[in-house]
Structure 1
């Protein structure tokens, strides 16, 4: 076994010598113990030697001999890591060096950068690295490793393309401003249909913009699902290239929009995978630390906004599908200093004589929702003692009510006023804020309600008031069951305002479905009170409305929502009949 390993190390030394021209590199076992800079770096964070994680023989056998002048096609190499051991997916195999090996901080960096070459020059003769520096300015070509790009659907002609891009910017990008108008103009300028003109992030951006545009209301009033799916297939084809290529903003933007599109389809696995890639690229580009960059105010705000949208979508996907957030820390609150990105967040109030900007309230609500996920629903938080759960419930309820009081009364959820849901572009933004508020109320109070606490007397009989320090500060936790049911009924009351396009409808699908399941579970737990009869009546009204809407709609989300409502009604009705 030792001879086998020594043979591998000799082959590795020979290969490195051919790359850097450094002559003989001393064998690792012969390195003096007091050498401050050994040729092979220290073990990784798992306590294993990095060489144990790699099939070096297979790696070397697949490489071409490298001459003194390295062509761009051979810059990128592929390293196979044994499953379950070694480097995580945030270490892309594009001659990337993990910082846990280089001891230079978090993340990773490419040897095809000045930073990487400086790091190598500390471990080899820098005079032999001049031939590599010419490769730094050129982007590595991935064609030698990946199949050529395919065009699954021809690009639309000029007139239709103009209409599609207009629909994308007006209906989708207005409320989720991932791309700027300058981005779109640059993408679709010149010979944009040539795959060789674009990097992988740009190629994915081209396709995902058209995939979304074909799902939006068009001149015919019907989305083109088939064409959208073909463009989405073209965008997904670029994912392997994005993982291998150096990170850029185009790759981050395209993967974020792809995650949103799959979110509208309630596809958990693609959502979580794509948002993890977007978070990884965000961290590699250091988007959360734009203050340290020398750039214009507009560029800094654009980077901050993109970072916030990625983190917000990461938390939303985490909550909906029960997966851990890809971002390690709760940092979505950093968006509170970003200026409003578009007019979609300006809502008319006081008889249209004034406006109120909803962007910062939206960011604050996303921050509260993120904290709810991390402190109540992650695996590390599910076994909290009941007194701590009660204190957290009271604390989050207070935060949510404080947030509510910051809104003008006519825009507050549950105020009894008639919000301007039908006014565009206000409609999606304001509607999702109302839905998210009720969903937060359900998430906060459901854990207490599920402890078989149906009235304040039940809670007082099983818990000493001194058991929870925060209990007396917010007595509303005694009413968790009724507050949860009230929020669910209010969420169902918004069914008549459901969006009419596939993407917004698919994203909104989550909220009424949670409300239905909440009312049905409340009835099942305690079917006797008169309030549960009212909840069942609300479910039947929602079922009647959705079944009628589903018959007149081509949207799959409406049909799925109607079936889910019918199932909830049937289960709740059987529980009441049995009682």
Structure 2
């Protein structure tokens, strides 16, 4: 009996080693090699074993290694919609397409394999991209790995007909403008025909369907209020495929769906899911080489640009998560520095210039602002930057302030933050992009100058009296760092004034919630450090005005982000008022 169990364990260990390619262990044969004698696998040397009746029947097929376990696991990486990189295994069974039916004009005596780039392109043109994804999924499936995955579950009914059309339209008009992850053609291919059948899609496509519907149910439209319960069901369906995405070969569908999932959790202020998901997206992005400057073989210029766009969207979400939750960016600095520039993906980012002919593209300045924010985190807030001296801090902060002012001058005056006049948000088709540009600029100003303002430096006299002469060289190139206290408070007040433009839908509001909350905490901190000057009294008045506005909004709106923001504002008002009273 004991030998019987040991034999089973040895065969199970051999089987697992062959699946996961662990070590260089030789399989333990079920029968002795020729020329050798030995006891059979089920023989027992225990004299008392005959008293036990082993009624188990050994399955002969279980003693043989599956043929697929000996194949190397080289994946096929889908590179773009309808175009794939050839990487099918030579040992993988494949089919040949005769030239006489391929419309290539070549002779009939030769054929080409369906697993080559030529064959995949032919299948895509003849049968459509959805069938190509199904073909690739069957060719690269690993039965030993899929057996560890539970079957996909449907947590709710999928929309059909007019409701589905409206949901997808809302997604493209409200969400995809701010986060251009999917193209219209990709949306159409995902939701064509019997899209709700999980057996027809690979893990990346199936997850994309789920997250698009989860986001669409949170957006405004003709449907009225957002449906959080239905949205949560589709997000739950997307989350159950995470293990499939990790085990499957990396592809664009997986990267896109994971980024949208990360944005969804970002709107909920859920730091741990955000950081975990964006790390996976960054890894897939780097494996696919989305940010490389050289165009990949077999891709059109539009497809290359879309891959680079996806790379920058991954970086933007990564930096946003780092800012909000105090985590280091998942993307490496050298990869961001080597990434290729991109063009605007849509005319929705072009805004007219007043009193001038032509337009200005908001997308280009957004990408540049993402790069500046990335450097701010790495040079001012990471652990390696925390040990720098005060003169180094002054120099770095002054350099970033100059970069921000240079960036600001590139924007037309009417759309520029700190312009003084109210920006024309509601009159623009892509007004949410301009709103987030303003919020991000003020957030960068607070991040740069609050490190100096907390040191109590308000003038050159403060530096001379409290610091050594080498420190004075830190602000010689940019004396604006001496105004850090006032610049921080002014940026916080300007950010707080944008609250009346907060989005009405829950997901955009959840994303924008961070900025006014940072502004409130900044003003409260400034009042606590110096509760007497008139500017701080004005800041306290602004906090109370924001608290009154948010209390009214919280009573009229079912959105959770408004209530969270109201609670933050109430706490900031309380601590600031106590500081003023005690002074």
Task: Check the 8 A contact 1:19/1:67 in 2, yes or no.
Answer: no
Name the CA shift for 1:135/1:429 in 2 (closer, same or farther; >3 Å). Answer: closer
Q: Pick one of 137, 140, 145 that aligns with 1:138.
A: 140
2:255 is aligned to 252
* Counterpart in the other structure of 1:482: 486
Query: After the TM superposition, which residues 366-381 of structure 1 pair with which residues of structure 2 at under 5 Å, given as runs?
Result: 366-381=370-385
In 2, Cα distance between the equivalents of 1:113 and 1:382? 48
Matches of 1:273 and 1:469 in 2, distance apart? 42
Residue pairs, 1:22-37, within 5 angstroms: none
TM-score (norm 2): 0.78
1:429-454 deviations in whole A, cap 9, x for unaligned?
00100010000000000001111224
Please state whether the residue corresponding to 1:287 is helix, strand or coil: coil
Q: How does 1:7-18 map to 2 (within 5 A)?
A: none
State the Cα distance separating 1:400 from its structure 2 match.
0.4
| Compared CA separation, residues 468 and 246, structure 1 to 2 (3 A) | farther
How far apart, CA to CA, are the structure 1 residues paired with 2:488 and 2:19?
Answer: 68
What's the counterpart of residue 69 of structure 1? 67
Residues 95 and 469 of structure 1, relative CA distance in 2, 3 Å threshold? farther
User: In the alignment, is the contact (CA less than 8 A) between 1:397 and 1:444 conserved in 2?
Assistant: yes
What is the 5 A alignment of 1:37-116?
Answer: 67=65, 69-70=67-68, 114=89
Q: Does 1:182 align with 2:194?
A: no
Q: Among residues 158, 163, 176, which one is paired with 1:160 in the alignment?
A: 163
Asked if 1 retains the 8 angstrom alpha-carbon contact of 2:258 and 2:280, the reply is: yes
Structure 2 unmatched runs, 5+ = 1-8, 29-60, 76-86, 93-115, 117-135
1:542-570 deviation line (CA, Å, top 9, x unaligned):
11111111111111101110111011000
1:335–1:363: 8 Å Cα contact kept in structure 2? no
Residue 545 of structure 1 pairs with residue 531 of structure 2: no
Residue in structure 1 matched with residue 112 of structure 2 by the alignment: none
| 2:400 pairs with one of 396, 401, 424 | 396
Deviation at 1:184, TM superposition (A): 0.8
2:232 is aligned with 1:229 = yes
| Aligned counterparts, 1:262-277, within 5 A | 262-277=265-280
Are residue 241 (structure 1) and residue 244 (structure 2) matched?
A: yes
**1:19·1:68 contact (CA, 8 Å) conserved in 2?**
no
Alpha-carbon distance in structure 2 between the residues aligned to 1:509 and 1:401: 25
Say which is worse superposed, 211-220 or 344-353, in terms of deviation: 344-353
RMSD of aligned alpha carbons? 3.1
Name the CA distance, whole Å, in 1 between partners of 2:18 and 2:325: 49
| Residue deviations 1:13-57 (CA, integer Å, cap 9, x gap) | 89879999xx99699xxxxxxxxxxxxxxxxxxxxxxxxxxxxxx
Segment drifting more, 365-374 vs 336-345: 336-345
* Cα distance change on mapping 1:445 and 1:336 into 2, 3 Å: farther
1:192 match: 195
Distance 1:222 1:466, change over 3 A: same
- Residue by residue over 1:71-116, the C-alpha shift from the partner in whole angstroms, topping out at 9 and shown as x without a partner, is xxx689xxxxxxxxxxxxxxxxx9589xxxxxxxxxxxxxx96599
The change in CA–CA distance for 1:359 and 1:457 in structure 2 (over 3 A counts) is same
Contact persistence 1:114–1:136 (CA under 8 A)? no
Helix, strand or coil at the partner of 1:387: helix
- Matches of 2:439 and 2:91, distance apart in 1: 48
1:498 aligns with 502
- Runs of at least 5 residues in structure 1 that lack an aligned partner in the other structure: 1-7, 28-62, 77-93, 98-111, 118-132
Question: Offset of 1:460 from its aligned partner?
Answer: 3.2
SS in 1 for 2:360: strand
- C-alpha separation between the residues in 2 aligned to 1:136 and 1:289? 30
2:278 aligned with 1:297: no
- Max Rg structure: 2
Q: SS at the partner of 1:291?
A: coil
Tell me how far apart the structure 2 counterparts of residues 547 and 16 of structure 1 sit (CA, whole Å).
61
Deviation at 1:420, TM superposition (A): 1.7
Query: Structure 1 residues 201 and 223, CA, compared in 2 at 3 Å: closer, same or farther?
Result: same
Contact 1:332–1:363, Cα closer than 8 Å, also in 2: no
Contact kept, 8 Å, 2:217 with 2:227, in 1: the verdict is: yes
Question: CA offset at residue 290 of structure 1?
Answer: 5.6
Contact 2:308 2:340 in 1 (8 A): no
* Matched residue, 1:216: 219
- 1:444 matched to which residue of 2? 448
Question: Within 2, Cα distance between the matches of 1:224 and 1:263?
Answer: 18
Q: Whole-Å Cα distance in 2 between the matches of residues 443 and 419 of structure 1?
A: 23
Q: Given the alignment, which residue of 199, 203, 208 partners 1:205? A: 208
TM-score, structure 1 as length reference? 0.78
Structure 1, residues 201-250: CA drift from partner, whole Å, max 9, x if none? 11110000000000000213210000000000000011011011111100
Q: Write out per-residue CA displacement over residues 506-565 of structure 1, whole angstroms, 9 at most, x where no aligned residue.
A: 111000000000000111112122221111111111111111111111111011101110
1:572 matched residue in structure 2: 576
- Listed one character per residue, the Cα deviations across residues 452-477 of structure 1 (whole Å, up to 9, x for unaligned) are 22444323322345335442110001
Kindly state the Cα deviation for residue 158 of structure 1 after the two structures are TM-superposed: 1.4
Query: Counterparts of 2:541 and 2:16 in 1: how far apart (Å)?
Result: 75
Aligned-pair distance for 1:345?
Answer: 1.3
> Alpha-carbon deviations, 1:270-311, whole Å to 9, x = none?
100100010111111121226151121011111111111111
Number of aligned positions between the proteins? 486
